[in-house]
Amino acid sequence: VYYTGIVRDKQGRKMSKSLGNSPDPLELIAEYGADGIRMGMLFATPAGNDLPFDSKLCEQGSKFSNKIWNAFRFLSMNMEEDVEYTPTTEIDSENLVDRWMMSRIHQTIKEVEADFQNYKLNDALKKVYSLIWDDFCDWYIELAKPANYSDKFDKERLNVALGMFEQLMKLLHPFMPFISEEIWQHIDERSSEEALCVSDWPNYDESKIITEDITLFESMQGMVSALRNIRSEMGVSPKKDIEVLIKSSNAEKIEENEWILRKLQVLKSLFIANDLKKPKACASALVGNDEIYVQMFDLVDVDKEIER
């Protein structure tokens, strides 16, 4: 049996009609959606603790619903009317991003199942939230979509993206049943017997978790973030091409996947080596044990930066 805490107002008082501190749930649903309210309240409620209710929690849930719907809308906009799509989790074994995303999905399945066993529902939701918002929306879709905005996904790539999205909806369904079911029914034509609410929970497969891929991709995420920070700190436009040098003991693997850096950064040149000297007039960042250098000669007034 799972016991919930007491919902209290901002002053810590128990909500009741006599105090007049209990919001109308129908009004909240009209403003934030039923899923938004469920998600917001679960997100802020550690097991066994009381919940200090704040409508901002519902707003957070509503924003998450919008994020999910926009991700699906982006994928559906790339679906051709006269093409039959078959969502799949059979990924391109040569694609690091596919392997990383599949690893993260199965890693999350394992962690969420453990949280369910221990009644840590809010911890489980936070893991699903991070998987969808951070990993899938902010990284996977950005790297999976065509380089040119006007181009469409090719059929195989879109089938994989839709297949992964289906897995995410299965993980999300216990927390946000309405939007997950709606998207599930939109991805493919399904009968009532194939509804998400009666579908199988995603199967955990330990062999799908490739730790080396997770580590490598996280390292490259750190490099992209470091380059973005350097641009921001030095006042360099995100659209300006830059010369980048990377010193890494894992240079060969990074070089094999340098397209990730090139897709997310505008680069004039990219040099990766196991060992190199720090160039003159450069901005630098440390990502784990890797060193990132950006040539500044043509980007800023070097003398002024030295003086500063």
Whether 198 is in a domain gets the answer yes
Q: Which DSSP string corresponds to 49-61?
A: --EE--HHHHHHH
Given this model, what pLDDT does residue 236 score?
A: 92
Q: Please report whether residue 214 resides in a domain.
A: no
Domain finish residue from 153, 180, 208: 208
Q: Which of 208, 239, 256 is the last residue of a domain?
A: 208
Confidence (pTM): 0.89
Give pLDDT, residue 302: 55
Q: pLDDT at position 296, please?
A: 87
In this prediction, residue 111 carries a pLDDT of 98
CATH classification at residue 24: 1.10.730.10
For residue 130, what are the domain limits?
Answer: 7-208
Domain count, the chain: 2
* Position 37 in a domain: yes
Same domain, 247 and 267: yes
For residue 251, give both structure tokens.
């240079």
Model pLDDT, residue 53: 79
Sign of torsion over alpha carbons 104, 107, 113, 115: negative
Whether residues 57 and 147 share a domain: the answer is: yes
Q: Residue 119 has what pLDDT?
A: 86
- Residues 228, 131 share a domain: no
Is 50 in the same domain as 122?
Answer: yes
Chain centroid to CA 287: 20
Q: Determine the pLDDT at residue 13.
A: 85
Chain centroid to CA 80: how far?
25
Domain annotation covers residue 261: yes
What are the C-alpha distances in Å from 125 to residues 10, 43, 111, 209, 239? 23, 7, 11, 20, 36
The reported pLDDT for the residue numbered 52 is 77
Q: Point out the domain boundary residue: 161, 184, 208.
A: 208
State which residues of the chain have pLDDT below 70.
1-4, 46-48, 300-308
For residue 170, the model assigns a pLDDT of 98
Cβ proximity of 247 and 275 under 8 Å: yes
Whether 198 and 265 map to the same domain: the answer is no
Whether 84 and 183 share a structural domain: yes
- In this structure, is residue 1 part of a structural domain? no
186-242 per-position pLDDT tens digit: 998 899 999 999 999 999 999 999 999 999 999 999 999 999 999 999 889 999 999
Q: Are residues 238 and 187 in the same domain?
A: no
Q: Give the pLDDT score at 136.
A: 98
| Whole-number pLDDT of residue 80 | 86
Same domain for 190 and 155: yes
Do 153 and 292 lie in one domain? The reply is no
What confidence score (pLDDT) does residue 87 get? 94
* Structural domain includes residue 248: yes
What is the C-alpha to C-alpha distance for residues 136 and 132, in angstroms, rounded to an integer? Answer: 5
Any domain includes 183: yes
Asked whether residue 20 falls in the same domain as residue 92, the answer is yes
